[in-house]
Amino acid sequence: MQELVFGVRGLDVLLRSALFPGATIVVAGHPGAGKTTLATTICYANARYGNKRCLYLSFQESKVKLFRVAKNLGMELEDAERRGLFRFVNLPIASSAEEIAETINDLVGSFRPDIVVVDSINAVLEPIKDPGKRAWLQNYFYRLAEMFNGLSIIIAELPFSKEDLDLGAIEFVSDVLLMLKHYVKGGKLVRLLEIRKSRGTPIYVAELPFKIVEGQGLKVFVPPMLREIKTPMKLYKFSIELFKELFGEIHAGSSILLVMPPYARTPCVFLPVVDLVLTNKLKVLLVSYKYSVEESKSILKRAFRKIMNEELLDKIFEEFFVFQGFNPYGMSMEEILMAEMELIEEHEPDIVAFHGVDTLYPMMKSDPYRYHNLAVNQIYHLKSIGKIVIRISNYINKEQFRLYSSLADIVVRSFMRIKGDKFEPYLYIWRVGKEPKIIKVSDVLEELSSKRWRDLLRRVK
């Protein structure tokens, strides 16, 4: 028998070795949590990619509804049915344990499936009042996978007020136990998949955020968690002498924080990044939590129009930048992380720049451990695969600045000093292994008249 799959990338990464002929999976959760979607996904993926036959036994769901919902999520069950790989049977709720077992045995014998789904076991067990018969039927469902040497998926319903199963021996002897949960936090729907058990599979993360996407189905996100911090040895250089003196060379995987006062945002904090990008021909993914793609481009053009023309900026944007903007308050923290990692996987940048991270400060305040855990693991993951991470923020207060600085290898912060009746801009610069320095922005601007800067811009032309 060919390898079985979940058909959900995150689960296939973590738990694929848990699927084998004779295995029993229990998918439990509250109403509307996505149990039927997950079970259908496993069936459809194995039918489509492995020519496996799936027998779907429903004691509650109608065929019309199941097929319609599946189609909306990108699963063509009608096609699998036409090919003889999917069979839906709507069974009546019977009072006899023996009658239920006999009916299922007949269906399994005639269809010879590789996968059997029971949706749901609660509907089967509730009418069985005799404790002995109920225990016998529970044991039957546990042994079902072994009887046809395939994969058995048992769906279990939980009331909203409970997270504990009451399925007798099934939950203890099952090979995989997945709990699907959803709740509302801050007006947003949060979906989590808890891996309560996976026999013979090492689990380093027990709770996974997921979402159900129209046309794509169920998407599970495995948060990046590294037991060992790894830094790639690749180094990037600067062209401008001042930046060479201040930063030396930068490792792929470095974390950089750019901070500005909200009332005086100078583009000079970005100049080291421009040098780094143009010198090393690096691709940048800029994700803004504040502005749309067009707004981000327009703001950067206004900021840099004194040091380079718009035509040149357009060429730099086209050759080196990918822009993306989204509202973080339309998503949970986990969904933000999912969206970011999907963009990184899609565009494969060398640098990932997150603009407007100060807008996430209220999230950090409401759940600091969760925020810090997600941010640190994301940075370590991106470090391990050689992505430079740049976090661009307005200065809010000392707490926010210290937290963001603690995650950085390099900090560039602009600030103002009053000289007479004028404000004079400065940059505070620090990197790991060096003493912090304060330089005038005017010193940076002098570098823009140097031959090295002009040569750097000519490379784009």
With a cut of 60, say whether residue 226 has pLDDT above it.
no
The span from the CA of 194 to the CA of 35, in Å, is 12
Q: Which of the two residues, 202 and 311, has the higher pLDDT score?
A: 311
Comparing 29-33, 165-169, 205-209, 263-267, the range with the smallest average pLDDT is 165-169
Rounded mean pLDDT of 362-389?
A: 86
CATH T-level assignment (fold) for domain 9-222: Rossmann fold (3.40.50)
Half-sphere exposure of 391 (CA within 13 A, CB side): 28
Share of the chain above pLDDT 70, in %: 95
Comparing 226-235, 253-262, 331-340, 406-415, the range with the smallest average pLDDT is 226-235
When the pLDDT of each residue in the chain is averaged and rounded to a whole number, the result is 88
pLDDT tier at 333 (50, 70, 90 boundaries)?
Answer: confident
Tell me how crowded residue 416 is: count the other CB atoms within 10 A of its CB. Answer: 15
β-pairing, 207-213 vs 188-198, is antiparallel
Alpha helices in 385-426 (DSSP H): 398-406
pLDDT tens digits along 86-117: 999 999 877 688 999 999 999 999 999 999 99
Q: Which amino acid is at 55?
A: L
With a cut of 60, say whether residue 1 has pLDDT above it.
no
pTM reported for the whole predicted model: 0.77
Rounded mean pLDDT of 193-197?
A: 91
With a cut of 80, say whether residue 232 has pLDDT above it.
no
pLDDT tens digits along 43-66: 999 999 999 999 999 998 899 999
pLDDT tier at 262 (50, 70, 90 boundaries)?
Answer: confident
CATH 3.40.50.300 domain extents, the chain? 9-222, 227-459
pLDDT tier at 229 (50, 70, 90 boundaries)?
Answer: low
Cβ-contact 259, 401 below 8 angstroms: yes
With a cut of 90, say whether residue 354 has pLDDT above it.
yes
CA distances from 22 to 101, 151, 195, 200, 342 (A): 18, 6, 20, 14, 34
With a cut of 90, say whether residue 80 has pLDDT above it.
yes
Rounded mean pLDDT of 144-153?
A: 94
**Four-point Cα dihedral 58, 62, 68, 71, nearest 10:** 10
Q: Which of the two residues, 8 and 16, has the higher pLDDT score?
A: 8
Comparing 49-63, 156-170, 371-385, 389-403, the range with the smallest average pLDDT is 156-170
Tell the CATH superfamily of the 227-459 domain: P-loop containing nucleotide triphosphate hydrolases (3.40.50.300)
Q: Which of the two residues, 373 and 414, has the higher pLDDT score?
A: 414
The span from the CA of 156 to the CA of 158, in Å, is 7
Helix, strand, or coil (residue 395): coil
pLDDT tier at 369 (50, 70, 90 boundaries)?
Answer: confident
Rounded mean pLDDT of 417-442?
A: 89
Residue-level pLDDT at 207? 84
Rounded mean pLDDT of 117-128?
A: 89
